[in-house]
Amino acid sequence: MKRNNLGVIPLVCAVVCGIAASACAFSKRPPGVLAESKAGYVTRAEVDTAVNRYERQIRRFSPDKTFSPIERETVWNSTLSDMVVSAIFVKMAQKRKTLVFDSEVRERFLIICSGIYNDDEKAFADALAADGWTLDEYNAHLRDILLAEKIRAEYIGEITVPDSLVARTYERDREKYRICEITISHILINAPDRDMPDRGLTSIRTECARSGIPPESLDAAVARECEARKAKLVAIRDSVLNGGDFAAFARKYSQDGTAAEGGRLGTVRKGVMTAPFEAAAFALRNGEVSGIVTTEFGYHIIKAHSDTLSRIQALDEVASAIEAQLRAGVEASKMESLEKKWKVKRYTINK
What does pTM read for this prediction? 0.66
The burial class, CB within 10 Å (0-12 / 13-18 / 19+), for 234 is middle
Neighbours of 121 (CB within 10 A): 13
User: Is residue 230 helix, strand or coil?
Assistant: helix
Report the candidate in 9, 91, 79, 86 with the shortest Cα–Cα distance to residue 44: 79
Query: Hey, which CATH number is domain 174-311, 3.90.1150.10, 3.40.50.300, 3.10.50.40, 3.50.50.60?
Result: 3.10.50.40
Report the candidate in 1, 67, 81 with the shortest Cα–Cα distance to residue 34: 81
pLDDT over 90, % of the chain = 73
Is 232 within 8 Å of 189 (Cβ atoms)?
yes
pLDDT digits (tens, 9 = 90+) for 204-254: 888 888 888 888 888 999 899 999 999 999 999 999 999 999 999 999 999
Q: Same CATH topology for 11-157+320-346 and 174-311?
A: no
**CATH class assigned to 11-157+320-346:** mainly alpha
What is d(CA 127, CA 121) in angstroms, rounded to the nearest whole number? 10
Give me the pLDDT at residue 20, please: 53
Neighbours of 313 (CB within 10 A): 16
Residues 133-139 have a mean pLDDT of 94
Residue 38 predicted with pLDDT over 90: yes
Residue 45 predicted with pLDDT over 60: yes
Give me the pLDDT at residue 145, please: 94
pLDDT digits (tens, 9 = 90+) for 155-199: 999 999 999 999 999 999 999 999 999 999 999 999 988 788 777
Is 152 within 8 Å of 89 (Cβ atoms)?
yes
For the chain, which residues make up each domain, given as ranges? 11-157+320-346, 174-311
Is 91 within 8 Å of 39 (Cβ atoms)?
yes
Neighbours of 10 (CB within 10 A): 17
What is d(CA 103, CA 105) in angstroms, rounded to the nearest whole number? 5
**Between residues 103 and 24, which one has the greater pLDDT?**
103
Report the candidate in 211, 7, 75 with the shortest Cα–Cα distance to residue 65: 75
**Between residues 15 and 99, which one has the greater pLDDT?**
99
pLDDT digits (tens, 9 = 90+) for 285-317: 999 999 999 999 999 999 999 999 999 999 999
What is d(CA 346, CA 16) in angstroms, rounded to the nearest whole number? 24
Band (pLDDT 50/70/90 cuts) for residue 5 is: very low
